[in-house]
Amino acid sequence: MRNSVEQRREKLINKLFGVNVFKIEGKQLYELPLSILEREYRKYQAEYHPHGEFGSIRWS
């Protein structure tokens, strides 16, 4: 279980590096827990993902 959490953290850190996010709240990404990394990545996806705009298809 712990290994899968660490793998998820690494994936999120790499994805955030890919969009030029290196620090959150003044801390290095490696210092942050998984929950904060997930929150920040979801925030990025909602704001910048091409399918996240109001004109895109939404399933209800």
Mean pLDDT in order along the chain per 10 residues (60 residues): 89 93 93 95 80 54
d(CA 7, CA 9): 5
In the prediction, which pLDDT does 51 show?
61
**What pTM did the predictor assign?**
0.73
Residue whose entry in the numeric block shows the structure tokens 């998984």: 34
Contacts (Cβ under 8 Å, ≥6 apart) of 23? 29
Give the pLDDT score at 45.
84
